Structure formats: structure tokens, C-alpha cells
Amino acid sequence: MPVEYRVIEVFTSEEARWEGRPVWEAILDAVRRSDLAARCTVSRAMAGCYENGEMASGSLEVLSFNMPLKIEVILPAAQLDELLPRIEEMVTDGIVAVEEMQVRAHRTRKRLIPRQLRVKDAMTPSPHAVTPATPLADVVRLLLRHRFNGVPVTGEDGRPAGIITQKDLIQRAGMPVRLGLLAQFGEQQVNEFLASIQDRKAADVMSAPVVTVREDQRLGEAADLMLRKGLKRLPVVDADGRLTGMLSRFDVFKTITTESPDWRKIRDQYVSVANVRTVADIMRRDAHTVPPDTPLEEVARLIDDSDIQRVAVVDSEGRLVGLVSDSDLLSVLAEHRGGLWESLKARLGLSEAARRQAGSARTAGDIMRTGLITVTEETRIEDAIRLMTEHGIKRLPVVDESGVFRGMVSRDSLLRAGLEQEQ
């Protein structure tokens, strides 16, 4: 069945400008950012003339200048009024026309990470960095103050010499808990740890050599590198190898959220979109659950033994009622902070700390977080990414229409799904 489309035709020239930019470039950018089911083509003529008698030629005998351009934008008729006024405003020298067209089929293929995006479009520029000689305590203070989990180490030439992540601090500096948990403790407990590393430098614990990515590489290539190497962030370098930025998975997600087209809006215009994937394709179904009356000691043991950071709390019907994370658990145990801190310094697990506080132990239902942001198995990948980015969360519980818990979806799995759509 034919669908009514319109073709916006703009006849202009190479010299035409809109706010200092070539008008063809401004229109192309407006179409790309419109989130409409529109395609744009820019054609340059071999020769032509203008109303003022001026001639333009591409021949070798006549100097080529100001060649005519034709810009064509084709889109569903229902979306014409969303774009046409904007284009008319931009064309201060030229002709704008609209033609009717009946389209038999409109098919496209979705890309979660647009191919034109480069690392420099997503990275955090001018990042904090330390040198190999920086006292390790200063590195930890820097990470706690800015709430990021890794910092690059650069030499005198500005090139990355290594990187320090919270994994390095735990494995090589004896940090007892993750940075996010350490920040929850009081100044006295943090100072205890800083005192224990006062004689150490950044060079003592950094990972080297460090994996880097160039700022002009495609963003999809950088995401692929992160997944293959199991890295959550990458130092970004210029053509001379000097540090210019940092790229994290969260940076990639933020860029996807702002740069990807609105595929729902495009499909609503009867456009056939291939390669559509949902949460059901990537979710983890073996996530751990406990009932609300589970003692905290048992919850802590499950987190310890399974090497996970959170468990889902479900009722007798399997409906999700809350989440308990290691952070929630430590907050409760920290009511007895002195004993807990000593346990952590001795590298005991959460379960041991919980056992020691069994006298005041409560249940998962007492401390679980409620009012959770959830998705269903039918949620599209890009919508899940948008939710994670907007709310700054790393995992989303997946439930069915009755609220029954089905599993979890993580940043890692979403990033992997985005790359698969690239292929």
C-alpha cells in the first residue's frame, strides 16, 4: 500500500550561508538531528546560471566558482511541517519547493552507535591525571572527591604511562572495600586507610602498560576494545600519543542517548526498521533472589559467595519488591562501625561481618530499596540505555506485566548489544 511522502527540494549554491555555515551543511545537520524518517541528498551541479546572470562552470577553460547545489529531503507527508519551516528559514539565497510522492516501501537498518561518531565526540576532555611520583594517598583523595573509579598516570611528556583503578587499589594497595563504599565511611576510617599507604606512590600500584584509544577512532571501535579487554574506561590520546581525554562506558551511553534517532517515532511512520533488539535478547536470567524475611547474614553470605553486588527481593509469588546491595548491607552494619572496620581491614567477607553483628541483624525486607526503576523483556535496548543514563544506574531489574522478577540487564550487556547492531 503506497504511503504519502513529500520531497523538499532546495536549489541553492556553494556560497549560500546560514549563520556562517554552508547552507547545505546546516540543512543536512538539521535533518540528521530531527529524529524524523527523513533522508537527505546533496548534489553538486557541473554547471549552471543564476537569476543575476552569473554563470558557473566546471570546465577547465572557465574558472570554477560557486557551483549550483540541489538538496533533496524525502520524508513522510505527516512529518513535513516539522521540518519545512526550519529549512525555509535557512535558505536565504535559493528556491524551496515541495513535491508529492507515493512510496511503496521504506526500509532501514538500525544502528545504536551511529557510524560517524568518533571517540572525541563522547570522551570527557582534559581529565584529571597524576604522575608516577604522586603520593598514592593523594590519588585516593582525588578519586573519592570526584567519585570516579580510575585515573590515568602520565609521564613528563604528557603520554599515559599507566592507570590506577579501584581494582588496583584493592589488589595492590590493600583497600578494604570499593571506592563507593569507602566514601560512606567517616573521616577517621578513611584516614586510617590513607595512613596505611602514606609511603607509597602512584607508580607502585598502577597498571602498565595501559590500553589507550585515539580521539579520532570510531566510537564503536572503542566500545569493542572495552569489551574485548574487559575495561570500563580508556585513556584517550591525540596523534602524538598525549592524553586528551577519558572514555568510559557511561560516556558511550550518554552519547547514544543524545545522538541515536528516535526509532519509535520513525517506525510510527510505517517505516520497516531491521535489527530491532529488546531486553529479552540480552538479559541475565540467573540473577539471585531472596524472600523478604531472609536474615541479613544469609543475604551477606549470598553476596560474598556469588561475587555479586546485589540481590533481588521477591515475594511468595515471585514479584519483585526490592533490591539489597552490598552498600545497603554495609550501611546497616556500619551502625557498629568500629567492629566492621576492623573486620574489613582484616579482609573478612561481608558474611563474617554480618555474623559478628547477628545480635542486631534484621532481614532483607527491613533494608531493601523499593520504588525501583524496572523494564520488561519487551523494552527496546535504546530505552533501557536511556533509563540507565538518566538515573545513573548500572543495572535494571526485568519484570513481567505482573511484576514477577525475570532477571537483570547490565551496562556491559547493553554495550555488547549495541556493537552487535553495528555488524
Closest CA to 130 of 31, 200, 78: 200
Asked if residues 40 and 5 have their Cβ atoms less than 8 Å apart, the reply is no
Position 358 scores a pLDDT of 47
At position 366, the amino acid (one-letter code) is D
Distance separating the N- and C-terminal Cα atoms of the chain: 31
Give, as one character, the DSSP assignment of residue 211.
P
| pTM for this model (two decimals) | 0.77
Measure the CA–CA gap between 235 and 2, rounded to whole angstroms.
Answer: 51
Asked if residues 399 and 377 have their Cβ atoms less than 8 Å apart, the reply is no
Residue 373 CB: number of other CB atoms within 10 A? Answer: 11
Q: What is the pLDDT along the chain (423 residues), one digit of tens a residue?
A: 678 999 999 999 999 999 999 999 999 999 998 989 999 999 999 888 898 888 888 775 555 678 999 999 999 999 999 999 999 999 999 999 999 999 999 999 888 888 889 999 999 999 999 999 999 999 999 998 887 889 999 999 999 999 999 889 988 988 877 787 777 777 777 888 888 899 999 999 999 999 999 999 999 899 999 989 989 899 999 999 999 999 999 899 998 888 888 888 888 888 998 877 889 988 888 788 999 999 888 888 888 777 778 899 999 999 999 999 887 877 776 655 554 455 554 444 555 555 555 445 588 998 899 999 999 999 988 889 999 999 988 889 999 999 999 999 988 888 887 666 555
Closest CA to 25 of 6, 8, 42: 42
For residue 56 the three cell numbers come to 558557473
